[in-house]
Amino acid sequence: MSPRTSPRPRHHLTALGALTLALLVLPLATTTTAASSSGTATTAADAAGPAVQAVPAESAQEGTFRNPLNAGADPTIVHHDGNYYLSTTQGDRISVWSSPSLATLATAEPVEVWRDSDPSRDTELWAPALHRFQTGDGPRWYLYYTAADSRLTDPVERDASHRLYVLESADDDPAGPYEFKARIADTGTYAIDGEPFVHDGQPYFAWSSPGRGFDGGPQQLYAARMSNPWTIEGEPVALPNEGGCPEVREGPTPLYRDGRTFLTYSTCDTGKPDYQIWSIALDGGADPLSADAWEQLPGPLFSRDDAAGVWGPGHHFFFRSPDGTEDWIAYHAKNTPEYTYSFRSTRAQRIGWTPEGTPDLGRPLAAGATQRLPSGDPGAGSTAVNDTDTGRGGPRVSYEGDWTTGDRCGAHCFHGDDHYTAQAGATATYHFTGSRIAVYGSLDTDHGYATFSVDGGPPSEPVSYHHPFRVGEQRVYLSPELGPGEHTLTVTVTGDRPAGSSDAIVTVDRAEVYPAP
């Protein structure tokens, strides 16, 4: 049980809730009337249009943001009561970040909502998913997640112990507190990445388990009817799920439009650069537990874009803009083509719909691509400072020492270029007005250490830019909260290198300046 919670009586659903278990979160792309710019009536679904593209670099930065939103993988995002709530895989706990604007989720402080004391489920907590249900005591949030048994020391046995669990909130707050509710969809075998979906008013639960019929083959998708938010009933059914690599089907999450349910999912090993998103579709009135009722959509819907420096996009979640007129996807991806589970960070971008009414997820945008905030988002946005922004006026960077600039980092860098040097004592100083600054740079095999100093203050502990392979646009420093006004941040190259590095290079790529709250 979470230290923030205390035992409470179990909730009982109202008669209507027991029949429908209707999710209170508005399904994506349902028909809701909105005013278009021309003043004529349209619908949120019609207004969605094609998938979003990056804002031109010369556009004003007010009301814009850039990814990533979080350093974690397997994101879930909801917008509720004026705030975004985000949770990602953290391993030994579940945390929630909240912010009134998407632009400031990256600097929000985490709230730990769950850390388990039961060793059968206290490690490798993966893929939290937030969903809101009506109960007899009012609306409650349910956090679905995967966890393993820490008593098993053999990695293979511990991995095989992964099962699905659900927490329940004490009230109508996605940030908790939460209490443990149940193990869910327990068929006696490995089970991960579970989420509810609603079709024709009836909730179902979808997840990933081995084989076709739990026979130990490659991971497949399964679904079962739900009798309440923490219980399935009846026999699970294996769903069709083609596409991508053969070894994995995971992370099912729903999307809705015009009575149809799209159950999207990720394929391939999440460590591979080819991790990608596919979907099956179900017409209104069809039975979700009839495998033949599902239509396999051609795909992938969303996959790597080497030119943009985005690899392995997947394990996603859909959410609406604050005013309900736009559909958005949150997903994780990497800035490296290496086969690795590290560096999967959370990103978001607006999606659209094809003329045929199927999801148009577009292409994953570069991590530093400038995007407009979701419609109705009240944030002022953050301001990007490129390594070449050395002119007068506005946020800028100045250099002292022997720096080289070029495009050697290519798609791994913001705008395809950076400044770099290994000269001890060389500095790059950001001049900005705002309340906080984050610095992004590339990590590589020949990189060394740098320190950071705010407003001429004492330097930070040395920060390593070294890694056994190249990975771009990593946040290497986030300043503390600063008072309003003008500030400086100085990056100093130490000239030292960690063991295994072939040089002491430090890069300057981009910074994000955040306005005062």
Sequential DSSP letters for 99-163: ESSGGGGGGPPPEEEE----GGGSEEEEEEEEEEEEETTEEEEEEEEEEE-TT--SHHHHHHT-E
Model pTM score: 0.89
pLDDT, averaged per 10 consecutive residues of the chain (517 residues), comes to 31 34 41 29 41 59 90 98 97 97 95 97 97 95 98 95 98 97 96 97 96 71 97 95 89 97 97 97 97 95 96 98 97 97 97 96 96 94 94 90 92 94 98 96 97 97 97 96 94 97 97 89
- Looking at the structure, tell me whether residues 361 and 402 fall in a common domain: no
Backbone angles phi, psi at 205, to 5 degrees: -125, 130
Contact 267, 296 (CB under 8 A): no
Q: Domain span at residue 421? A: 384-514
- Looking at the structure, tell me whether residues 492 and 354 fall in a common domain: no
- Looking at the structure, tell me whether residues 94 and 117 fall in a common domain: yes
Asked if residue 155 has a cis previous peptide bond (ω within 30° of 0), the answer is no
Half-sphere exposure of 260 toward its Cβ, with a 13 Å CA cutoff? 20
**What pLDDT is recorded for position 285?**
96
Let me know how many helices (H) and strands (E) the chain has, helices first: 3, 36
CATH number of the CATH domain containing 396: 2.60.120.260
* Count: domains in the chain: 2
- For residue 87, the Cα-to-chain-centroid distance in whole angstroms is 8
For the chain, the maximum distance between any two Cα atoms, rounded to a whole number of angstroms, is 73
At residue 57, what is the residue type?
Answer: A
Does residue 431 sit within a domain? Answer: yes
- Looking at the structure, tell me whether residues 169 and 252 fall in a common domain: yes
CA distances from 396 to 68, 207, 217, 345, 517 (A): 21, 48, 55, 26, 21
Q: How many CB atoms lie within 10 A of CB 240?
A: 14
- Looking at the structure, tell me whether residues 169 and 155 fall in a common domain: yes
Q: How many residues appear in the chain?
A: 517
- Looking at the structure, tell me whether residues 366 and 471 fall in a common domain: no
**What pLDDT is recorded for position 157?**
95
**What pLDDT is recorded for position 25?**
42
147 forms bridges with which residues in the sheet? 163
Q: What is the torsion angle, in degrees rounded to the nearest 10, for the CA atoms of residue 307, residue 299, residue 276 and residue 166?
A: 150
- Looking at the structure, tell me whether residues 346 and 413 fall in a common domain: no
Among candidate residues 358, 381, 404, the one where a domain is terminated: 381
Does residue 12 sit within a domain? Answer: no
